[in-house]
Amino acid sequence: MLHGRGATAESILTLAPSLGMPDLAYLAPQAGGNSWWPQSFLAPISSNEPGISSAMQAVEEVLARVVEGGIALERTALLGFSQGACLATEFVARHARRYGGVAGLSGGLIGPDGTRRDYAGSLEGTPVFLGCSDIDPHIPAERVRLTASLLEGLGGVVTMRLYRGMGHTINEDELEAVRAMLQLRPSLTEGPTGEEDYAPRR
């Protein structure tokens, strides 16, 4: 679980009770200074280094602990909110393989428009959920759509929902979608959906 800018590992872990799945293990790394990188995720990547590379390493270290603990990455999901969602989606794009799931809540792939995205590998049917407001002040809807398209192109089974008029937050519909993904419901794991929902705010 990857927290947003200005937040903490403890704050993102408060989502765990809301998911209502106490049999899962929840791990959350902490960004130095409560931010994974200094500027907007839409800024040139070089201007956010070495923050981005350090953030990627933090995720790698957590996943290494998971594997060392005997849990396969196919049973491990990555979830992030805001800056953490940007980190989660960019990480799986750069390290494409089969994961248990990916949830990007109010975020998208890192870098300005026109960034070269020569990602390799395959997500091999990993279920991916992307949720965001259609008027989020920090996350352009077009970036969420681009992220959905690219992750689907990497073999992810992507569901994207844009919520009309919602703020920069997480709603109950998103939590329900994450629960479904973690429970491996067929509706989120059988075949590419290409789904884009304009959902009412909840």
pTM score, whole prediction: 0.90
Query: Would you state the pLDDT for residue 194?
Result: 42
Beta strands in 46-112 (DSSP E): 77-81, 101-105
User: Per-residue pLDDT averaged across 80-104, rounded?
Assistant: 98
Chain-centroid distance of CA 88 in Å reads: 4
Q: Tell me the two tokens of residue 58.
A: 């933090």
Quote the pLDDT of residue 185. 43
Q: Where are the domains of the chain?
A: 9-199
pLDDT at position 186 = 36
Q: Which CATH number fits domain 9-199: 3.40.50.2020, 3.30.420.10, 3.40.50.1820, 3.40.50.720?
A: 3.40.50.1820
How many whole angstroms separate alpha carbon 56 and alpha carbon 22? 27
pLDDT single digits (tens) 141-185: 999 999 999 999 999 999 999 999 999 999 999 999 999 999 864
Measure the CA–CA gap between 104 and 151, rounded to whole angstroms.
11
